[in-house]
Amino acid sequence: MTSPASGVQLHLTSLPEGRLGPSARDFVDWLAAAGQSVWQVLPVSVPDPLGSPYKSPSAFAASPALLEHPDAPVSAEELSDFAERESYWIGSWTAFGGDLADQVRFAREWADLRTHAAALGVRILGDVPIYVAPDGADVRAWPSMFREDAVSGCPPDAYAATGQLWANPLYRWDVIAADGYRWWIERLRRSFTLFDFVRLDHFRGFVDYWAIPADADTAMEGHWERGPGRALFDAAEAQLGELPILAEDLGDIDAAVIELRRTLGLPGMAVLQFGFNPAYADNTHHPDNLQYDQVVYTGTHDNDTVLGWWATLPDAPRQMVRAAAARAGVRADVDREPSWALIELALGSPCQLAMMQAQDVLALGSEARMNTPGIEGGWDWRMAAGALTAEHAERLRALTEAAGRG
C-alpha cells in the first residue's frame, strides 16, 4: 500500500446472484461510491461438498459455479492458449474430471470484472488457502508431495477452544524443497494472475504447523512440526519478483512467526473482535496496540458479525470497547450501533489497510455469519438485492475521508 486504504470483504457467493454478473459489477460501483479501494473475496476455487472454498479439490482451478454465462461458447484458440499458459496445472484438473472450457470462461469473465474494478480504482484482494482437499486433483497428480500419516488442523485458539481438525493432507516439505518449491511457486503465480494481492492463509503453518495423526478423533492429539520457513518465499521471489501478500498470522503466534513476517516485509492481521479481553494486557488486536504493518478487520469470515458478537459479549469487554471508542472520538453510539463503532475504530487505526465485512456495514446479526470454525457447514450467507444503499455508501465515504484513507 502506498497510502492508507480501506475496503469491504464480501465473497462472490454472497452477492445477490451468488456469482459473477450484474451484482458483482454493481458491488464494485457501490465500493467506489463509498470511497473504498479494496474488495476482498474468499478463494474462488471449487468448494467442497459443504461449500467451503478452503478444502478445494484443486489449488488452481476456479469454480464454474461462479460463472455468469456457464454455456458461453469457447473457441479452439482460447482453449489452446489457456492450456499452454496454464500448462503446469491444467492437466491435473482435466484428469480429475474438470472442464478446460469452464476455466477459459472464468478467465474471460474475471478479466472483465477486474477491468471494471481497476477503472474505478478498486483492487481485488484474493485468498490462498494453505491446504488442499484429500484425494483431490493435486494429491492425485503429485502424490509424493503429500503425507498419509498426518492431517492438518490447529491447536486451541480464539476461534475454537478445543482446536480444529481440518483433515486436509499435509505437505512433505522435503519433497517440495527438492523440486525447488515449484508447486508452490506455480500456485502463487496463478494467484497473482487472478488478484492484485492475496491473503496467505495460515501463515504460521510455514514456520511450524500442527500435525494431527491421521486416525485421531480431535485436533488435541496433534503436535508442532517445522515448516519450510523463509526458503519457500525466497524461491518464489526469485521467480516471481516482489510478493504481494498479506500474511494471515492469527491464532497461536510465536516470535518465529512474527520474525519471518517482518523479515519478508509482509503485513499481518488484526481483528478488532479479539482486542477486548480483560485478561490479555498486551493484546495486539486492541485499537491502542495496532501498527502500520497490520491489516485491521472488524471481523473476518470466521467471526460472528459485530452485532452478533456484541449481543453475547460480557460487560467487562463491552466497557473496554466503549472506552476505546471514546478515546478515538468515535461518533457512532457503541450500544446502539456496535458494528459502525468498530468500523470507525478500524478506519481510524494506524493500520495501512482497514477492512470490514459487508455484514457489518449492513449491521446484520448472527444470521448473516459466514462460517463457524470447527463446525461443518455454513458458507451460504447471501446479501439481499439492493441491501447496500446510497445512504450506506455516503456514510462510509464520509468516515473514510475523515480518516484520511483513499
Active site residue 201: yes
Q: What is the rounded CA–CA span in Å between residue 347 and residue 329?
A: 12
- Dump strand ranges (E) for 63-154: 123-128, 146-154
- Dump strand ranges (E) for 31-145: 38-40, 123-128
Residue 264 half-sphere exposure toward CB, CA atoms < 13 A: 28
Q: What is the rounded CA–CA span in Å between residue 255 and residue 127?
A: 24
45 in Cβ contact with 63 (< 8 Å): yes
Active site residue 81: no
Q: What is the rounded CA–CA span in Å between residue 367 and residue 387?
A: 15
Catalytic residue among 249, 302, 337, 344: 302
Active site residue 380: no
Distances (CA, A) of 286 to 133, 248, 338, 341: 35, 17, 16, 14
166 in Cβ contact with 152 (< 8 Å): yes
37 in Cβ contact with 5 (< 8 Å): yes
Catalytic residue among 17, 201, 208, 225: 201
Q: What is the rounded CA–CA span in Å between residue 274 and residue 297?
A: 10
Catalytic residue among 248, 249, 304, 344: 248
142 in Cβ contact with 187 (< 8 Å): no
379 in Cβ contact with 50 (< 8 Å): yes
Q: Which three cell numbers stand for residue 180?
A: 525447488
Q: Which three cell numbers stand for residue 276?
A: 477486548
Q: Which residues are catalytic?
A: 201, 248, 302
